[in-house]
Amino acid sequence: MKKIALVGMPNTGKSTLFNRLTGGTARVANWPGLTVDITTGKILLGSFMVHVADLPGIYDLEGGAEDERLAHAFLAETDLDAVVLVLNAMQLDRQLALALQLKALGVSLVVLLNMADEARAAGIRIDLEGLSAELACPVYAVCAKHGEGMPEFNKRLAAYLRDSRPHRVDFSGLTANADWHAAEADLFARFVSRPPTLPAGPTEKLDRWVLHPLAGLPIFIVMMFCLFQLTYAIGSPLQDGLEYLLGTVKSAVLAPLAQNWPGFLSGFLVDGVFDGVTTVLTFAPIIFLFFSLMAVIEDSGYFSRAAFMMDGLMSRIGLDGRGFVMLMMGFGCNVPALMGTRVIRDYKARLLTMLIIPFSLCSARLQIFLFLSGALFSPTRAPWVLLSLYLASIAIAMGSALVFRKHFPSREPFALELPPYRLPVAGHVWNRGWGETREFLKLASTMIVTGVALVWVLTHYPSEQASLAGIIADFFQPVLSPIGIQAELSIALLFGFVAKEIVLGALSVIVGHEGADLATHLANTLDGVSAYSFMLFTLIYIPCVSAIATVRKESKSLTFTSFSVLWSLSVAWVVSFVFYQGARALGF
């Protein structure tokens, strides 16, 4: 089997190329630093099966960030038949140095100039043959996003691999203190021609508003609100349709089938597992829709602008714009966002960023808030409730950073490339939405089923009137009662520590209703203040087990991990207490 590695600077389209080559679904977005781990896949090229590795972005072969060290270690320890260097054809004036470094090490190198369509539109002309002769390696121009030039590249790569031999990258051959940038400038001047000034395009015109010091933040809030509004407007009918379908399956198939089963087994499978999982599964259309819409924003390049715009504020709390990017990534899942801190070289800055990421409103929490806000608030108020929770998550994260910034000082300079705005690709949008939905369905088939089943046992053993769940709920009531959280909700919170996706299924089992009936029950037993206090506590109180394990792994400190968990719990209780008691004191 042949082995190749995709190498390049952040945001050059390596993951897009990986997906194009392998048919994979590695997450792609129009901002730098998204890939911080190694993604692998296999393809058939010619007569060879080829193992492809997509490495984290590296700026040069002497970088010291955690993700760069991971890429360097892979190159030094893996027998590779070729290294495919992916460069942005629009930015060769500052990316050719990496090609020169790899050439100096004698790597079996193939250079791929990606985004060739954008370079051509900008009037940039590249002498591929001259550059190939100078670098002594094949050089190709493609657009991985749209597939332009990819069939020819695949054919040429297969021919190249036929004569290649496995080797490792020997970094000891890299000349110390070499002036790579002078050589880069000479190479660029000889083989790349571009207009003296690039014509002003839509990027420059949009940035006048998006990066405006006064208009930028309101634009961000409006954009996020529109995302939530569309999610509700389109997703709610789909959710209702799926709920009706699953309800029909229960009444027409499952209930008659279980009619003659033993009472315990019938209750466990029908009223326990099926009802609980049904409540969770009805959110699959909304999850798909939300992350598809999020992918549109990601592909556009807007989130890099948000990070740049927020850098001034983030610097005042001991972080920089990368911390804001990590919070944005945390909206999907806290785990990859925590891993994404590897792009931060300074260890203390990494710790401070890891401390605040678990406050991001992840997709698992989103399911809970979508359900509760839809059940307890009017259609016009529900999107505002959801937006307020997102803003609260950002505010609490920043407040935590402000409190501890003196304990985690950092002087690392911040530089962020602002990519041009790009139209989203339908395939990327689909992959993002379906990828998140698929992971959700996998979780529903394993952990959620297990959690819901366990909740049913706790609420029915030794009896419904005196169950283990009731004993546990009574134990937590002195702590949760002052923040307006009822006994039946405490069990759901306990299982939410394992995975937030279990919370709704657990509630369905505890109260004995699912779907619309569960919403009606909660609306009759909770008022807006109690519900919002519960949502605040769920937002803040503790990340899931996977996130905690990732903090432990990335920080390499059990003390820091324990502190992070205790801090989240403390902040959750205090914030919910202040809100609940304050609202009651004001007569709400």
pLDDT along the chain (588 residues), means of 10: 90 86 63 63 87 86 72 88 93 91 90 92 91 93 91 91 87 71 89 76 80 82 79 80 86 84 77 73 80 82 78 78 76 78 79 92 85 85 89 92 87 69 81 80 72 78 76 87 87 80 80 79 88 93 85 91 95 96 92
Token pair listed for 513: 């209703």
Helix (H, G, I), strand (E, B) or coil at 41: strand
321 and 303 Cβ atoms separated by less than 8 Å: no
* DSSP letter for each residue of 177-228: T--HHHHHHHHHHHHEE--SSPPP-HHHHHHHHHT-TTTHHHHHHHHHHHHH
362 vs 501: CA distance, rounded Å: 11
Per-residue model confidence (pLDDT) at position 30: 45
What token pair was written down for 168? 């490792």
Q: Cα dist. 35→58, 147, 320, 358, 462 in Å?
A: 10, 21, 19, 19, 50
Q: Rounded to the nearest 5 degrees, what angle is found at the Cα of 489, between the Cα atoms of 483 and 490?
A: 75
Beta bridge partners of 49: 44
The one-letter amino acid at 477: Q
Measuring CA to CA, which residue among 537, 443, 454 is closest to residue 490?
A: 537
Q: Using CB atoms within 10 A of its CB, is residue 583 exposed (0-12), middle (13-18) or buried (19+)? A: middle
H helix intervals, 23-95 = 66-77
Q: State the Cα–Cα distance between residues 111 and 17, nearest whole angstrom.
A: 13
pLDDT value for 127 = 94
Each residue of 535-570: pLDDT tens digit? 999 999 988 888 888 899 889 899 999 999 999 999
pLDDT of residue 27: 54
Do residues 539 and 359 touch, judged by C-beta distance below 8 A? yes
The helix-helix angle for 202-210 and 302-316 (nearest 10°) equals: 40
The alpha carbon of residue 177 and the mean position of all alpha carbons in its chain are separated, in whole angstroms, by: 37
Q: Are 75 and 7 in contact (CB under 8 A)?
A: yes
Q: Degrees (nearest 5) of the Cα angle 284, 367, 339? A: 95
Question: In the chain, where does the domain assigned CATH 3.40.50.300 lie?
Answer: 2-193
In degrees and rounded to multiples of 5, residue 379 shows phi and psi of -60, -30
Give Rg (Cα) of the chain.
Answer: 26
Res 233: pLDDT: 80
Residues 140, 143, 145, CA angle at the centre, nearest 5°?
145
SS3 category, 86? strand
- Beta-carbon contacts of 198 under 8 Å, excluding residues fewer than 6 positions away, are 122, 123
Round to whole Å and give the CA distance between 563 and 557.
10
**Angle formed at CA 492 by CA 488 and CA 494, multiple of 5 degrees:** 115
Q: Where does 2-193 sit in CATH, by number?
A: 3.40.50.300
Q: What is the pLDDT of residue 65?
A: 67
Q: Which of 403, 411, 399 is nearest to 347 (CA)?
A: 411
Supply the pLDDT for residue 557: 92
Burial class (CB in 10 A: 0-12, 13-18, 19+), 220: middle
**Dihedral Cα 350, 354, 357, 359, nearest 10 deg:** -140
Which pLDDT score is estimated for 578?
A: 96
What is the pLDDT at residue 175?
67
In angstroms, the CA 53 to CA 446 distance is 29
Q: What pLDDT, on the 0 to 100 scale, is given for residue 464?
A: 66
DSSP annotation of 269 reads I
pLDDT of residue 195: 83
